[in-house]
Structure 1
Amino acid sequence: MGTISTPPSVPLDKLPIIDVAPLLSDDLSSEAKEARKKTGDALNRACIDYGFFYLNITAYADPDEPKELTRLAREFFDLPQAEKDKISLSNEDHARGYQRLKENVTNGKADNHEGLDFFRPVENPDKTKPLWGENQWPTVPKFREKYEMWIEKMKKLGLIVMESMAEGLGMTKGEWQDLVSQVDHSFWSMRVIGYPPLPNDHDGYSCGAHKDYGCLTFLYADPTPNALQVFLNRPGVKSPEASDLPAEQGAAEGIWIMADPIPGCIVCNIGAMWEVWTNGLYRSTLHRVVHRGSNYRIPFFFEPNIDAIIKPLDVIKRKEKEGKQMREPILYGDYVRSKVANNFVTGSERY
């Protein structure tokens, strides 16, 4: 068998910008089909080289929509502490709701941000079971209405991008339908994050170095520059901040680059499930936040179904070298519960 084609890499110093406009058209002309193919190829290349890229969504979403979400976020985070605590994580399953400043933990260190977390609603909610509680919505007028509209938009975008990625990988229609069956009831999550300026003496970060553990992350970032940092593997190049990497990274070699906001774009990165699906061809990328402003970011996580069994795709098996070891299957529900268990100081003993 042959190996998966990997075109020559480009210098890894700037994240690519990929326009979703060609993916929104039903035009069956040869030109439109070619444009969609080029987009799939670009996504494939970006996932191989970076695991991170910008998505230009001006053809998909009104830029004023996420701006309104950040206005509502500010209104919530500006409330008195006692009012915010009324929807605390401790009221539910220790995953859905509000967390105070430094209540979120990454790599054993407190993160310098407040947060508000939502997950896909579940049948027969039971807050004594991990991830099986109910979402807690602020009483800020229009908050729930506007955020639920954004959730629906991001869920649709997840399927649009996934289909293009499947084309870029060379999947057959049947293989794509099999992949759809693993994400068509996405156990999505969304965070609303409030970042105060990071104190110079804080023993940690606004959000410490980590990899996302699901499928696709769509981040609407505030205008603050030099906040989101992405670690690019560069053999032979040792970052002076390598000691700040998670222990499981070992002696990683590479550099940190800035993923500053670009008007009309969201930042997208792939999670660990794509590593399994592609047997390591795609790699989830370390990133962290060092926020010196006072603003709000809204990441939406498009995840597999909670009962999905994630394993290497047939297209990968078909093209890999004969005899190459395949990743072990993962039940996504078990995986995500184990990860969320370590996210918060207050909830770890519950999982």
Structure 2
Amino acid sequence: MARLPIIDIAPYVEANRDLTKCRATSDALHSACIEYGFFYLDISQYIDPSEPEELTRLAREFFALPQEDKDKIRLENQDYARGYQRLKQNVTNGKADNHEAIDLYKPVESPDKSKPLWGENQWPDIPRFQQKYDQWIEKMKNLGLILMEAMSVGLGMTREEWMQLRAQVDDSFWVMRIIGYPPLPNDHDGFSCGAHNNVPDIDYLSFLHADPTRSALQVFLRQSGTSVSDLDGLPAEHGAEEGIWINADPVPNCVVCNIGEMWEIWTNGLYKSTLHRVVHKGSNYRIPFFFEPNFTANVAPLPAALRLLSSQGNEPTSNDRKAHKPVVYGDFLLGKVGSNFATGSKGKYD
């Protein structure tokens, strides 16, 4: 049975880096991004396991509150993006998702809730909730830069090229979701979160601290000449692609990572975002952090990626690979987020 690779980021967080070990980590990341678009990142040398456990406890405390208390920080109070979204308010592929969540974004200067994404974050009135999550956010932002550096080595970027790329992500317009999943009802014709490869996961690098529920996160691996193994009788949602769904079950001391469309553009399709979905039959909590480019970042194919593609005989102008058009990340994000919520908020960004 196929399984996602486990990659240890320790060589890049150690005080005295072993360049040979760093190279091995970078090579493993490069292979994982090409083959899977997903991987487990071992961060046991970077965090204390008690930290995500405390975040989970706080999430559980919030989602157990009466509905009227949770609604005090609802999306509609701000910019329809920051705050609490009720059960089935999030929409994927036209179907309501069976989860509730708190969505947080990078704070902005001169917030204005009448502008898309430009409101203020809303926090539950629970002791130490914001403090603990703020600490986790800072750690994940730093982890994003560490992982980016490791990936730049895997792509064969020069030091100068890496510094240019770093300048596009050093003020990440990050996104944080605190998600509560009730058990998926037997008569529910959708998913806990439907199949997607970008929104609602936004679109760059995600770090998912997963709950213990097995068979919840499912990843679609493209494989020609195979038939889709449809799990639990649910629709495959794979279109005409050939491949298989595999479970990305939690691994101790690891976060699940996946890449999004921004990496597809930066690598001109060498790295591909991967279709995935959540079919949650427990009652637990997931805490994904999305390390995004700067809001003003110009995302265009990287010279290092184009060199690799050229060396493989895959020129951007070949019939099977078109050059990806550059995008400004903030414009891309604004175009994506507005389609993600049910009637009542959706129309604000259409």
Between 1:310-319 and 1:137-146, the stretch displaced more is 310-319
User: Normalising to structure 1: TM-score of the pair?
Assistant: 0.93
- Name the residue aligned to 1:156: 142
Q: What's the offset of the Cα at 1:317?
A: 2.5
- Name the residue aligned to 1:50: 36
Aligned pairs for 1:1-351 within 5 A: 13-27=2-16, 32-212=18-198, 213-239=202-228, 241=230, 244=235, 250-321=239-310, 322=315, 324=317, 325-345=322-342, 346-351=344-349
* Aligned CA distance change for structure 1 residues 107 and 121 (closer, same or farther; 3 Å): same
Task: Count matched residues.
Answer: 335
Q: Can you list the C-alpha shifts for 1:279-320, whole angstroms capped at 9, x where unaligned? A: 000000011000000000000000001111101001122333
Q: Distance in 1 between the 2:205 and 2:177 partners?
A: 14
Asked if the contact 2:270/2:309 (under 8 Å) is kept, the reply is: no
**Aligned partner letter, 1:220:** H
**Aligned partner letter, 2:151:** M
**Aligned partner letter, 1:350:** K
Q: Distance in 1 between the 2:229 and 2:4 partners?
A: 21
**Aligned partner letter, 1:306:** F
Q: Can you list the C-alpha shifts for 1:103-124, whole angstroms capped at 9, x where unaligned? A: 0100000000011000000011
Q: Secondary structure at the match of 2:246?
A: strand
Asked if the contact 2:112/2:119 (under 8 Å) is kept, the reply is: yes
Q: What's the offset of the Cα at 1:342?
A: 1.0
Q: Secondary structure at the match of 1:204?
A: coil
Q: Distance in 2 between the 1:27 and 1:97 partners?
A: 41
**Aligned partner letter, 2:325:** E
Structure 2 gap ranges (5+): none
Q: Can you list the C-alpha shifts for 1:243-288, whole angstroms capped at 9, x where unaligned? A: 9455xx6411110000000111110111110000000000000110
Q: What's the offset of the Cα at 1:214?
A: 2.0
Between 1:126-135 and 1:320-329, the stretch displaced more is 320-329
**Aligned partner letter, 2:157:** M
Q: Can you list the C-alpha shifts for 1:147-184, whole angstroms capped at 9, x where unaligned? A: 00000000000000000000011000011011101101
Asked if the contact 1:214/1:304 (under 8 Å) is kept, the reply is: no
Q: Secondary structure at the match of 1:327?
A: coil
Asked if the contact 2:75/2:81 (under 8 Å) is kept, the reply is: yes
Q: Distance in 2 between the 1:53 and 1:323 partners?
A: 26
Q: Secondary structure at the match of 2:15?
A: coil
Q: Secondary structure at the match of 2:150?
A: helix
Structure 1 gap ranges (5+): 1-11
**Aligned partner letter, 1:334:** D
Q: Secondary structure at the match of 1:273?
A: helix
Between 1:234-243 and 1:48-57, the stretch displaced more is 234-243
Q: Distance in 2 between the 1:193 and 1:56 partners?
A: 22
Q: Distance in 1 between the 2:45 and 2:277 partners?
A: 29
Q: Secondary structure at the match of 1:201?
A: coil
Q: What's the offset of the Cα at 1:241?
A: 4.1
Q: Distance in 2 between the 1:237 and 1:207 partners?
A: 25
Q: Distance in 2 between the 1:205 and 1:199 partners?
A: 9
Q: What's the offset of the Cα at 1:240?
A: 5.2
Q: What's the offset of the Cα at 1:323?
A: 5.8
Q: Distance in 1 between the 2:130 and 2:272 partners?
A: 34
Q: Distance in 2 between the 1:244 and 1:284 partners?
A: 20
Q: Secondary structure at the match of 1:320?
A: helix
